[in-house]
Chains A and B, each alone.
Chain A
Amino acid sequence: MTGAAITGVGYTPFTARSDRSVLSLAREACANAVADAGLTPAEVDGMASFSVMHDSVPCVAVATTLAIPELRLAIDLDLGGQAACALVWTAAQAVAAGQARHVVVFRALNGRSGPRVGTMRFAGGGGQYRYPIGYGSYLMYVAMWARRFLLETGQGEQEMGAVALAQRAYAGANDRAYRRQPLTMEGYLAEPWVVEPFRGSDCTVEVDGACAVVVSALDAARDGPVPPAVVASGAYRAGGRPGLDIGDHLGWEDYSRNYTSLLRDELFGRAGLRPSDVEVAEIYDCFTSTVLMGLEGLGLCDRGGSGTFVAGGGTAIDGPMPTNTHGGLLAEGYLHGMNTVTEAALQVQGRATVQAPRHHVCAVTSGANMDGSALVLTADR
């Protein structure tokens, strides 16, 4: 146990066009999280965030607008969806070590009306081999992995469609979700290809918005207004040859296995738990295929069995492993996995919009391909 817990969560609405500055969004989400934790900004002494190609604002800007008197920890990470769980884990360790007492971790962006990560050119040495030939979108790289994953595990469009359907069903009940209209398998299969093997509903929906969590020392967390979601374990992993930039997958050996299978043993071992102990899962889902890969990689499903599990209702609210209970990045919106973490905290705290009946152990992941991170959140026991 690290002696740290998530004590509060905060959101802005997720919209197609905020007509607000990213700083305004970030400030609001962080202020909401701090209030949710029963704190005042003056009690916050740490902040952490991540951005892609300067699409956000630095911690000090948000600290300035929250009138935080003193920061003892500030981390601005230049990373995509790999970062959310890793930052919460780093914040938890800083809190456990006494470096800070309450750390706000946030992600804020005008991801739809501003710079769109789906089509932006990433910095780094690998882009010259991709962009000039029309291989220039993150969606394409994950599609390339999805094709190999489906080949090797004997799965296909029905299995990916099952993920889209299951998550859309959750989103229908979630007022925060951007995509709420029901989806049928017939409707899914009728959608035109975006990049084969992905149709529109296989892909996350880019939005404007922000969300945040407060990570607090566990003794302080126990005084708060909501039950703490204890950060029982965290792990980050980049496997061998993770590439020259976040889109360079050429050195990676096996596109059918991502970072989740590499960090699984460390993640659960540190918490003293096994995959079979997990009661609810929030799996990073910029695309449907990463849910299947994540469920299998974490050992929550057998290799090749995730699609059948999802199609059979395994991830539904009354199934054995409720998963992506907010609709996921696919339907709630693409806050680069930070809203995956906020939903996980809400589930463990027992106050999610669609609440899993068993919710004392939650596995969360961040990231899709070569590198990523994960958390185990538990009830205070």
Chain B
Amino acid sequence: MSTLTPAAADWLGVDPDSRSFWEGLCRHELRLEACDTCARVRFPPMPACPYCGTVGGREREGSGRGRVYSWIRVHRALLPEMADQLPYTIVTVTLDEGCRMVGRLDPHVDPFDGMAVAVHYVDHDGWTELRFHAANPWAAGAGEPR
């Protein structure tokens, strides 16, 4: 757990649309927005539903489970602050709720299309990061299509 500090919120770029999401991560909760009209779940948080245009919506707890849709593995320090973390893997995940998120795959396994993943939370100074890990680590990597 952590507490979202003003300095971290400023550095992250937290805005009125996203504050609840970031505060949720600090509590190790995944807060997603759902539309009151069409019920579609969206990410990132935004003022209206991107599927039907309905303004507002309600928050709901995400399952934290999903499937890998695509991935990259970063080998070069394009971001200087990440130089000591190389190489690392970023996955795009289709959550069970239907929306997509990106996150670090930690620990790294060789991802494959449709690989089942789940979220976990990594606390930093003043904020918390959402990461993914293979939901069935014994099934990952071995003999799967790359």
Contact = CB atoms under 8 A, between A and B. Distances in A.
B73 A196 contact: yes
Given A125-B17, A255-B69, A255-B70, A144 B85 contact: no
Interface in A143-166: 143-145, 147-148, 151
A28 B69 CA distance: 46
Contacts of B69: 148, 255
Nearest to A128: B13
B71 A250 contact: no
A4 B71 CA distance: 44
Contacts of A130: 102
Contacts of B92: 144, 148, 249-250, 255
Interface in B52-95: 69-76, 78-79, 82, 85, 87-88, 90, 92
Contact of B72 (A127, A140, A240, A241): A140
Interface stretch (B27-35, B43-51, B134-142): B43-51
A38 interface: no
B44 A248 contact: yes
Contacts of B12: 128, 132
A354 B54 CA distance: 53
A126 B50 CA distance: 14
A119 B18 CA distance: 24
A147 B50 contact: no
Interface in A99-128: 118-119, 125-128
Contacts of A127: 13
B90 A140 contact: yes
B104 A250 contact: no
A67 interface: no
Contacts of A148: 69-70, 92
B110 to A, nearest CB: 11
Contacts of A136: 78-79
A133 B90 contact: yes
B142 to A, nearest CB: 19
A194 B71 contact: no
B76 A194 contact: yes
Contact of A147 (B11, B14, B46, B71): B71
Given A128-B13, A251-B50, A144 B71 contact: yes
B100 interface: yes
A77 interface: no
A353 B136 CA distance: 56
A139 interface: yes
B72 A134 contact: no
B99 interface: yes
A196 B72 contact: yes
Contacts of A140: 72, 74, 78, 90
B75 A241 contact: no
B103 interface: yes
Interface in B5-19: 11-15, 17-18
B103 to A, nearest CB: 6
A182 interface: no
Nearest to A198: B72
Interface of B: 11-15, 17-18, 22, 42-44, 46, 50-51, 69-76, 78-79, 82, 85, 87-88, 90, 92, 99-104, 113, 127, 129, 131
8 residue pairs, one from A and one from B, having the closest CB atoms? A128-B13, A196-B73, A148-B70, A193-B75, A137-B78, A134-B82, A143-B72, A147-B70
Given A134-B74, A250-B43, 10 more contacts: A128-B22, A133-B129, A143-B72, A144-B72, A144-B90, A144-B102, A196-B72, A241-B51, A250-B99, A251-B50
